[in-house]
C-alpha cells in the first residue's frame, strides 16, 4: 500500500500556543488579582503583582499574535470589521477592551484608589473570563478537527489559565521575597484546579477513545505516538502529578525554593498542554 | 376605481376613505399578483457552480494539477488542485485509485465561519472566495478547512486556494482543469440549471462528497469513488 498525497504546511507553529499561554496567564492573573484584592483579605499582597502581570502578559501575547500573521501590517483590518460568526473576531474586540481595563485597573490599584479599582476590577471580570475561554472556542469552532471540536476546550483553557497565572504570581511573589502562606496562599485553590484539569483531560481522552478515525489518531498521538512523551511525561507527570504531590503537604510548601520549582513545573505543564493540543489537532486530520 | 373630483363632493369623508382604502388595496394586490405568478414561471437566475469528477474516467495523469499551476501562477510547494493516489490490495491483485482534489466550495464553509477579517466570503454562484486585499493571514481558515485545500501563498503572503477559475467562468469559459482533462472526468456547471451537463449527470448517477458527516455541503461531487477513498 503506497499513498501519494499533497500536504500543505501546518497553519500554526509555536507562536500560537505561546500566545494562548500568555493570554491565559493574563486573564488568569487578572481574575486572581480581583479575587485577592476584594474577596480574600489574606491574599491582599498578591493583588498588585498579579494586576501588573495581566497587561504585560497580554501585550506580549498580542504582539506574538500580530507577528504570526502573514500580513502583520494589515492587523488594523481586524479593528475596522466585526464578523459575528468568527470567534477570533469576537476575541479581537473583547481582548482589546480587556487590555484597556487591565491597564486602568493595575494603575488604580498601584495608586491605592480602592473604590475606583474595585469598580474597574469588577467591570473587567466578564472580559477576563472571555479572554481566558475564547481561545478554546477559537479551536472548538473548527468542526473538521475532532480533537478540537469539543465543548470542553474553553473550560480546559480556563483551568489552564488559572493554574499558569497562579504559578507565575507565586513565582514573582517568591522572587521579590514576599511573606506569604503556603504556595502564596493559593495552595488549596491550585490543588483543586489541578484536580479539575486532570478530570477534564481524562473525560476528553475517554470521548476521544470512542470517536471516529480522526479521534483514534489523536488519541494515538497522545498515548503512544509523536506527542506521547510530551503529553504523558511533561504535561501529565511533570506538569500535574508532581506538583499535585508536592502541593499536598503544607509544610513542604513553606519552602520558597520548593514553591519556585513547583510553580515552574506548573507553567511548563500548561504550556505543554497548549502546544501539544494545537500541534496534535493539526496532525490528526485526514486529507 | 379612482374617485373623480366631481363625485368627491357628493360623498362623506368616511365613504371617501373607505373607497380610497379599497382602491389602494386593489392596486397593491394588482401589483403583487402578477409578480408572484411571474416568479413561478421565470427560471432561477442565481447560479450554483459545482464540479463533478467522474472517477471512472480519471487516469491520474495530473494534467489538472499542472494546468492549474500554469493558469493561476501557483508557486512551488503549494497546490490549488492536485491528485491523491492510493494503491490497494496485495500483489498480484492490486489496484490504483486516484482522487483529484480542489476546494470543495462548501455551502456551509468552516473557513468562512472562522475568518475574522471577512476576507473569506461567499461570492457569486455560491463560490467560496478570498478577498486577498482583506486577508491578514491569521491562518485560522487553513486549519479549519476539513479538505486541507487552503495554503499561505509563498509570494503574496496571503491565504490562497482554488476559486474555480473565477476569471474564466465569469466569461463563460470552463475552469482550466476541466479544459485540460483528457478523459473528460471533470464536469463543471450550474446546479440550478436543470439542463446543464452536471445537473443531468448528477441526476442520473450516484455521487459522493468528501466527509459528508461534517455537513459542509460541498459543491464537489465524486462519481464512482471507492468507499475507502472517500472515507478519509
Q: What is the mean pLDDT of residues A215-232?
A: 94
Taking a C-beta distance cutoff of 8 angstroms, is the pair B209, B231 a contact? no
Q: Chain B: which residues have CB within 8 Å of chain A?
A: 78-79, 82, 84-88, 101, 110, 112-118, 134-140, 142-148, 150-152, 157-159, 210-211, 213-216, 231-232
Q: State chain B's mean pLDDT as an integer.
A: 85
CB A78 within 8 A of CB A95: no
What residues of chain A lie within 8 A of the CB of B232, using their CB? Answer: 286-287
B20 or A267: which leads in pLDDT: A267
Q: Kindly state the DSSP code that residue B44 receives in the 8-state scheme.
A: P
- For every residue of B183-212, DSSP letters joined together read T--EEEEETT-TTSHHHHHHHHS-EE-SSG
Which residues of chain A from 43 to 82 reach within 8 Å of chain B, CB to CB?
Answer: 68-71, 74-75, 77-78, 81
Q: Return the pLDDT at B17.
A: 64
> Shortest Cα distance from A213 to chain B (angstroms)?
9
B84 and A5 within 8 Å at the Cβ level: the answer is yes
Q: Which residues of A touch B146 (CB under 8 A)?
A: 143-145, 285, 287
Whether the per-residue pLDDT at B7 is higher than 70: the answer is: no
pLDDT (0 to 100) of residue A253? 83
Whole-number Å distance between alpha carbons of B108 and B146? 12
Contacts of A142 in chain B (CB under 8 A): 110, 114, 140, 143-144
Percent of chain B with pLDDT over 90: 67
Return d(Cα B53, Cα B198) in angstroms, integer: 10
Residue A40 has, within 13 A of its CA and on its CB side, a CA count of 16
ipTM of the complex: 0.89
Cβ neighbours of residue A86 closer than 8 Å, sequence gap 6 or more: A141, B113, B114, B115, B116, B140
Q: What is the mean pLDDT of chain A?
A: 92
b/e A103-135 (16+ beta carbons within 10 angstroms → b): bbbbbbbeeeeeeebbebbeebeebbbbbbbbb
Chain B interface disruption, residue of A1, A3, A4, A82, most B CBs within 10 A: A4
Distance CA B86, CA B225 (A): 12
Question: Which residues are CB-neighbours of A145 under 8 A, at least 6 positions away?
Answer: A139, A214, A281, A282, A284, A285, B143, B144, B146
Name the pLDDT band for A181 (thresholds 50, 70, 90): confident
B140 or A175: whose pLDDT is higher? B140
Q: What is the pLDDT of residue B26?
A: 52
Contact A240, A194 (CB under 8 A): yes
Cα–Cα distance for residue pair B105/A246, rounded to 1 Å: 53
pLDDT in tens, B148-165: 999 999 999 999 999 999
pLDDT, tens digit, 9 for 90 and up, residues B61-100: 999 999 999 999 999 999 999 998 888 788 898 888 899 9
Beta bridge partners of B41: none
> Which pLDDT score is estimated for B4?
46
Q: What is the pTM of this model?
A: 0.87
Furthest CA-CA distance within chain A = 71
Nearest-neighbour CA in chain B from A125: distance (Å): 24
The count of C-alpha atoms lying within 13 angstroms of the C-alpha of A6, restricted to the half-sphere facing its C-beta, is 22
Residue A158 has pLDDT above 60, yes or no: yes
φ and ψ of A276, to 5 deg: -65, -40
Q: Could you read off the pLDDT of A238-257 as tens digits, one per residue?
A: 999 999 999 998 888 888 88
pLDDT given at position B89 = 80
- Which has more pLDDT, B21 or B109? B109
Is residue A151 over pLDDT 50? Answer: yes
> A71 contacts in B (CB within 8 Å)?
135-137, 157-158
Chain B residues in contact with A70 by the CB 8 A cut-off are 136-137, 139, 152, 157-159
Amino acid at each position: 500500500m503506497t499513498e501519494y498525497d499533497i500536504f500543505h504546511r501546518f497553519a500554526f507553529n509555536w507562536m500560537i500556543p505561546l500566545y494562548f499561554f500568555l493570554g491565559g496567564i493574563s486573564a488568569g492573573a487578572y481574575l486572581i488579582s480581583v479575587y485577592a484584592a476584594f474577596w480574600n483579605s489574606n491574599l491582599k499582597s498578591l493583588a498588585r503583582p498579579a494586576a501588573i502581570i495581566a497587561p504585560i502578559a497580554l501585550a506580549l501575547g498580542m504582539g506574538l499574535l500580530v507577528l504570526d500573521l502573514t500580513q502583520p501590517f494589515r492587523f488594523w483590518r481586524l479593528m475596522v470589521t466585526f464578523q459575528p460568526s468568527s470567534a477570533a473576531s469576537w476575541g479581537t474586540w473583547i481582548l482589546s477592551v480587556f487590555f484597556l481595563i487591565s491597564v486602568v485597573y493595575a494603575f488604580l490599584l498601584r495608586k491605592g484608589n480602592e473604590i475606583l479599582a474595585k469598580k474597574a476590577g469588577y467591570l473587567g471580570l466578564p472580559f477576563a473570563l472571555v479572554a481566558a475561554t475564547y481561545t478554546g472556542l477559537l479551536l472548538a469552532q473548527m468542526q473538521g478537527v475532532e480533537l478540537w471540536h469539543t465543548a470542553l476546550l474553553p473550560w480546559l483553557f480556563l483551568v489552564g489559565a488559572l493554574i499558569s497565572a497562579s504559578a507565575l504570581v507565586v513565582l514573582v511573589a517568591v522572587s521579590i521575597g514576599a511573606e506569604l502562606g503556603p504556595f502564596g496562599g493559593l495552595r488549596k485553590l491550585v490543588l483543586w484546579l489541578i484536580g479539575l484539569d486532570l478530570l477534564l483531560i481524562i473525560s476528553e481522552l475517554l470521548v476521544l477513545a470512542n470517536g471516529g478515525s480522526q479521534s483514534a489518531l489523536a488519541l494515538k498521538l497522545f498515548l503512544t505516538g509523536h506527542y506521547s512523551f510530551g503529553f504523558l511525561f511533561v504535561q501529565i507527570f511533570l506538569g500535574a502529578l508532581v506538583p499535585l504531590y508536592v502541593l499536598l503537604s503544607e509544610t513542604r510548601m513553606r519552602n520558597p525554593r520548593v514553591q519556585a520549582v513547583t510553580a515552574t513545573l506548573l507553567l511548563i505543564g500548561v504550556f505543554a498542554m497548549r502546544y501539544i493540543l494545537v500541534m496534535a489537532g493539526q496532525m490528526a486530520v485526514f486529507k | 376605481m379612482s374617485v373623480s373630483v366631481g363625485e368627491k363632493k357628493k360623498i362623506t369623508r368616511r365613504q371617501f376613505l373607505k373607497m380610497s382604502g379599497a382602491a389602494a388595496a386593489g392596486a397593491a394586490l394588482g401589483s403583487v399578483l402578477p409578480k408572484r405568478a411571474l416568479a413561478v414561471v421565470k427560471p432561477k437566475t442565481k447560479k450554483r457552480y459545482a464540479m463533478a469528477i467522474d472517477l471512472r474516467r480519471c487516469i491520474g495523469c495530473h494534467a489538472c494539477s499542472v494546468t492549474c499551476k500554469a493558469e493561476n501562477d501557483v508557486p512551488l510547494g503549494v497546490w490549488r488542485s492536485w491528485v491523491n493516489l492510493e494503491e490497494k490490495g496485495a500483489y498480484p491483485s492490486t489496484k490504483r485509485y486516484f482522487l483529484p482534489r480542489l476546494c470543495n466550495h462548501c455551502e456551509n464553509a468552516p473557513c468562512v465561519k472562522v475568518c475574522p477579517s471577512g476576507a473569506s466570503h461567499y461570492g457569486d454562484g455560491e463560490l467560496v472566495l478570498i478577498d486577498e486585499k482583506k486577508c491578514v493571514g491569521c491562518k485560522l481558515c487553513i486549519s479549519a478547512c476539513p479538505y486541507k485545500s487552503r495554503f499561505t501563498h509563498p509570494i503574496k503572503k496571503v491565504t490562497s486556494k482554488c476559486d474555480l477559475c473565477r476569471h474564466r467562468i465569469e466569461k463563460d469559459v470552463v475552469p482550466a482543469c476541466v479544459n485540460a482533462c483528457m478523459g473528460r472526468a471533470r464536469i463543471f456547471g450550474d446546479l440550478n440549471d436543470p439542463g446543464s451537463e452536471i445537473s443531468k449527470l448528477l441526476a442520473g448517477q450516484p455521487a459522493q462528497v468528501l466527509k459528508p458527516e461534517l455537513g459542509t455541503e460541498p459543491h464537489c461531487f465524486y462519481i464512482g469513488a471507492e468507499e475507502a477513498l472517500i472515507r478519509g
